[in-house]
């Protein structure tokens, strides 16, 4: 999983092909839309999707943690897909490897677990978060209008982008999107689709192509 360094809004970011951002100044790993429990939720309803997706997703998160040694992890919403199930139990076991790293969840529309369960999982909840000049919110549409001079980091839409080339070539890839006022992070889980967005002028777009990240 390679990454690419990027300076934006006076901060230093490393965009990883593992679908995460490492914030150097804050030593913080930022991810969005983990959707832990999605495959178990489907399976519980009798839809036989593969059961091992959560293991692979969390294994990747584990690799990112051992690579960057963050002092804190911020999840920009939709950490859990739905109500409690055995994937959440698996997460609880997995979480015990990193008792010293605080997990901070900016709640998203999917985060509907019971409050005491979050305590059990050692996850702190917040609706939004301000850190230096960055404002975290799950859905950028919920950004308060009173924000002054803060740049927004969001998730929610599972951004992707369509690339075209000579000879009618085209590709659709998940991306990191840095717009004029708002950044949108790619969905972390592989069990998510992508929504193709149309970049605004003066934005920076990075696509994730297998194990690499490219600015386009």
Partner 1 sequence: MKNTPGWQAIEQWLAAKELKPFAFQEEAWEHYLSGRSGLVNAPTGFGKTFSMFLGVLIRWMNEQPDYRHKTNSGLQLLWVTPLRALAKDIGRAMEEALHELHIPWKVGIRSGDTATHIREQQKKQMPEVLIITPESIHILLAQKEYPKRFAGLHTVVVDEWHELLGSKRGVLVELGLSRLRGLHGERLQTWGISATIGNLEEALEVLMGQSVHEKAIVRAEVKKEIAVHCILPDEIEKYPWAGHMGLKLLHKVLPVIQNSRTTLLFTNTRGQSEIWYQQILKQCPELAGAIALHHGSIDAELRIWVEEALHTGTLKLVVCTSSLDLGVDFRPVDTVIQVGSPKGVARFLQRAGRSGHQPDAVSNIWFLPTHSLELVEAAALKDAMKINFIESRMPVVLAFDVLLQYLMTLGVSDGFNADEIWKEVTSTFCYRDLLPEEWQWILAFLTTGGEALHSYDEFRKLHLVGDQYHCVSKQQALRHRLHIGTIVSDAMLKVRFMTGGFIGLIEEYFISRLSPGDTFSLSGQNLEYVMIKDMTVIVRKSKSRKSIVPSWNGGRMPLSANLGMMLRRKFHEAMSGAAREEEVLILQPLFELQQALSHIPLEDELLMEQIETKDGYHLFVYPFEGRLVHEVMATLLAWRISQRHPISFSIAMNDYGFELLSDQPIPVDDTNAQELFSSEKLTEDLQASVNATEMARRKFRDIAVIAGLIFQGFPGKHKANRHLQSSASLLFNVFHDYDPQNILLRQAFNEAFFYQMEEARLRDTMERIYRNKIVITFPQRLTPFCFPIKVDSLREQLTSEKLEDRIKKMIVW
Interface contacts to partner 1, rule CB under 8 A: 38, 40-53, 56, 81-82, 85-86, 89-90, 110, 161-171, 173, 190-193, 199, 205, 207, 209-210, 212, 214, 216
**Residue 39 Cβ vs partner 1, minimum distance, rounded to whole Å:** 8
**Residue 212 Cβ vs partner 1, minimum distance, rounded to whole Å:** 6
**Residue 57 Cβ vs partner 1, minimum distance, rounded to whole Å:** 11
**Residue 193 Cβ vs partner 1, minimum distance, rounded to whole Å:** 5
Considering beta carbons, is residue 69 or 215 the nearer one to partner 1?
215
- Residue 5, exposed/middle/buried by CB under 10 A (0-12, 13-18, 19+)? exposed
Distance in angstroms between the alpha carbons of the first and the last residue of the chain: 18
Considering beta carbons, is residue 50 or 144 the nearer one to partner 1?
50
Considering beta carbons, is residue 28 or 192 the nearer one to partner 1?
192
Summarize the chain as % helix, strand, coil (round to 5). Answer: 20, 35, 45
Residue reference for tokens 């991810």: 31
Considering beta carbons, is residue 37 or 70 the nearer one to partner 1?
37
- Residue 163, exposed/middle/buried by CB under 10 A (0-12, 13-18, 19+)? middle
160, 172 Cβ separation under 8 angstroms: yes
Strands 134-136 and 129-131: antiparallel
Considering beta carbons, is residue 30 or 113 the nearer one to partner 1?
113
**Residue 59 Cβ vs partner 1, minimum distance, rounded to whole Å:** 13
Using CA atoms, how far apart are residues 15 and 19, in angstroms rounded to an integer?
8
């Amino acid at each position: 999983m390679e990454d690419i360094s990027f300076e934006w809004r006076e901060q230093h970011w490393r965009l990883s092909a593992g679908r995460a951002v490492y914030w150097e100044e804050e030593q913080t790993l930022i991810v969005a839309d983990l959707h832990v429990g999605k495959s178990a939720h489907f399976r519980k309803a009798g839809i036989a999707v593969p059961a091992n997706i959560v293991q692979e997703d969390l294994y990747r998160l584990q690799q990112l943690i051992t690579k960057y040694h963050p002092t804190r992890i911020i999840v920009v919403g939709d950490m859990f897909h739905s109500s409690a199930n055995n994937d959440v139990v698996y997460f609880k076991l997995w979480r015990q490897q990193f008792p010293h790293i605080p997990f901070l969840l900016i709640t998203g529309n999917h985060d509907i677990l019971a409050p005491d369960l979050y305590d059990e999982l050692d996850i702190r909840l917040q609706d939004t978060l301000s850190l230096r000049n960055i404002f975290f919110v799950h859905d950028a549409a919920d950004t308060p209008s009173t924000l002054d001079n803060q740049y927004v980091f969001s998730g929610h839409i599972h951004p992707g982008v369509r690339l075209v080339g000579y000879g009618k070539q085209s590709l659709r890839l998940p991306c990191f999107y840095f717009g004029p006022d708002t950044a949108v992070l790619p969905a972390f889980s592989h069990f998510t689709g992508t929504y193709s967005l149309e970049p605004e002028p003066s934005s920076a777009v990075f696509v994730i192509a297998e194990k690499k990240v490219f600015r386009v």
